[in-house]
Structure 1
């Protein structure tokens, strides 16, 4: 294993200006003058930034819009949510009144309570389902985050923890994810909520809105208890990429046992995007434990694996072999000690970006955006990208967890953020939260080097109860 050391110091040096001053012998070039000039310049930039921040929403919006396609301007008008926590049902008994909770009930408590009076807010019923078969006119192509989403046959889509492959040959999007259409249970008293492995579901679409069920492209093993895909084990976060050299579609996924001690990745392969995929094997990449993971194919065709490791305390990233069927020996440790998982990578104008979540099991937590000039790092944290909703919505990634980011062809800087709103009481009823993600404008937080002024743009994920892709994209 090759671990990079001293990278941050090199990056800091990369962005610092030389401190040598070239002066003629007769000149009065003073170091103090240069220092005070630099201080004045930094103060000017700081004041300019404050003016930009306090000069009203319009000024900031205009700055961001210079980076965007005009059709996406309206998506920056975020919505606010004002959800009131209802009082307890009925009167409290004298005994219960004496056992008052140590802290007030929060929205997160209500979200995790399957008997909450706000259940319909977080998990709307079938009467509000997004049904592409029936939507017409002004309702066409609108996304409704967290509503039940039906396929073209009228069944709820089962593609959790998934990712999107855009197949260039057929000009078709393929959505792969966990098919969780089974009962939720606990393997043992202290075990996490789980469902048996059924397989990997696949859906196809031309417009990212109407999805046809292509069936299970990778099936669970029913009888062989020693097989990685035995139904009693864990299969999570399947991702598929196409190998231009071999002509194969390659799937990587998180493979584990019911106690999450196997901590491995699985690899499968197919000649077609709709499968069937042949399962090859599992392994621990670079000899390290691997849980939440994803793969990313760069512009030059090189593919990378990114996974949570060292008991989820850090992420590892490294290139795959040319056939995408194994990890090479090269690896970097990133976000060390930050306890991040659910990585979702994307690239814009030569800069790599990543959204991650914290490690709180099925409970929602705060997303963070990260950026790097090289995919192998160093990676710098930029802050929470979520905008709108309310403080709790932003702190919980809109009660969802990142899984993938879809670049929109023809709209530079515009993406779809894919996330799962997990329902630990009934995992098959977990919902999809798709929201507009835009790269543009000044970064959210100053960074350690380059005098605190980062070289990349902010990442913004905008909350909307209802939003629509540009008509030129969906046709």
Structure 2
């Protein structure tokens, strides 16, 4: 993908995974860990504004718009950091993985994102919420917090809920004893009153308009899927755990022919790793793990990227989106967008392409 060049319209219809992605003004697109909203005949790409050298959030969440998914116009900062000391989104906090969904009932655009408080590293593990009357914004920050405090997941057994854990016995990680405790809800119980941790996250809106928050929880060891309230502004209290102890993050989801598919990554910091794929006949499971869906050179490391979003398009079309992280200068982290195909059994297949054109 590149800025449109006069006299070269063909290039403006081409997506180049891993290439240099500029907006229509020729500036590098700075929208990492993002997602795309389709609304009113346009696409809106929201992502993290990453600084050239520093790590923490200095600007906020940026927005770009397009009518063809190839040529992107910079729309500005949709959610800005705050200059107010002590604000949850004070400049220097960490804002990651922003996703925006539209609520047809309230006619509001709702943004969720992973938030870490300034100067606290990654210990806060919160979800942040902001809202706007227009897709571009500006978005108004509402609040942040952990997920479903005081509520057990639906798929924890009565025995697991009743178990009392002595955390002193489980200070040493990765032992068989510790793994068994994690699987049975060691960290769920630890965080029950404060709420479940929420880091790398995504949103998914189902056919019936119900929306779900999908996030890495329990010290990044277990994925959780939590139903949102009808206004998309909070959690309903209904949630489950997926692949306990599996160490998944960067969740993405699509639904096709009644089957839910989720692609995640492992947890290896900025380094790429082998992606994971899961399926379920219901959002509430049971979830089954499959081999990763990637085909081509570098498939075992997700082509050097990490999943961030799956864009569903009319005509049974889907685009897998990923980031190529460059920790030395996160601003210039790259983008991978690839079409998703399906094999005869209906499983997603993502084949590497040096470049490709949209066929819709």
Structure 1 unaligned spans of 5+: 1-128, 186-193, 443-456
Matched residues in 2 for 1:230 and 1:143: separation?
36
C-alpha separation in 2, matches of 1:312 and 1:141: 38
**Structure 2 equivalent of residue 219 of structure 1:** 80
2:106 and 2:57 map into 1 onto residues whose CA distance is: 33
Moved more, 414-423 or 134-143: 134-143
Query: Highest Rg: 1 or 2?
Result: 1
Which stretches of structure 1, 4 residues or more, deviate above 3 A after TM superposition? none
Query: 1 or 2, which has the higher helix percentage?
Result: 1
Aligned residues: 312
Cross-structure match for 1:149:
21
Displacement of 1:386: 0.6
1:400 aligns with 2:305: yes
Counterpart for residue 60 of structure 1: none
Cα distance 1:137–1:330, how it changes in 2: closer, same or farther (>3 A)?
Answer: closer
* Pairing 1:76-475 to 2, within 5 Å after superposition: 130-134=2-6, 136-167=8-39, 170-180=40-50, 182-185=51-54, 194-222=55-83, 224-257=84-117, 258=119, 259-286=121-148, 287-389=195-297, 393-410=298-315, 412=316, 414-442=317-345, 457-470=346-359, 473=360
Deviation at 1:133, TM superposition (A): 3.2
Question: In the aligned structure 1, how far is the partner of 2:229 from the partner of 2:91?
Answer: 30
Structural RMSD (CA): 1.3
Shift in Å, 1:135? 6.9
Contact 2:22 2:29 in 1 (8 A): yes
C-alpha displacement of 1:184: 2.3
Distance 1:241 1:308 in 2: 19
Deviation, structure 1 residue 226: 1.1
Instruction: Normalising by structure 1, report the TM-score.
Output: 0.64
Structure 1 residue 313, shift from structure 2 partner = 0.6
Deviation per CA, 1:14-43: give whole Å up to 9, x if none. xxxxxxxxxxxxxxxxxxxxxxxxxxxxxx
Contact persistence 1:308–1:315 (CA under 8 A): yes
Query: Deviation digits for residues 49-107 of structure 1, max 9, x if unmatched?
Result: xxxxxxxxxxxxxxxxxxxxxxxxxxxxxxxxxxxxxxxxxxxxxxxxxxxxxxxxxxx
Task: Render the CA deviation track for 1:370-393: whole Å, top value 9, x for unaligned.
Answer: 11100111111111111012xxx1
Q: In the alignment, which residue of structure 1 is the partner of 2:156? A: none
SS in structure 2 at match of 1:228 = coil
Query: Matched residues in 1 for 2:197 and 2:302: separation?
Result: 26
Q: TM-score, normalised by structure 2?
A: 0.84
Shift of 1:354: 0.7
Where does residue 189 of structure 1 map in the other structure?
none
**8 Å Cα contact 2:12-2:71 kept in structure 1:** no
Please report how far the alpha carbon of residue 137 of structure 1 lies from its aligned counterpart in structure 2 after TM superposition: 4.6
Give SS of 1:330's match. Answer: strand
Counterpart of 2:188 in structure 1 is none
Contact 1:343 1:356 in 2 (8 A): yes
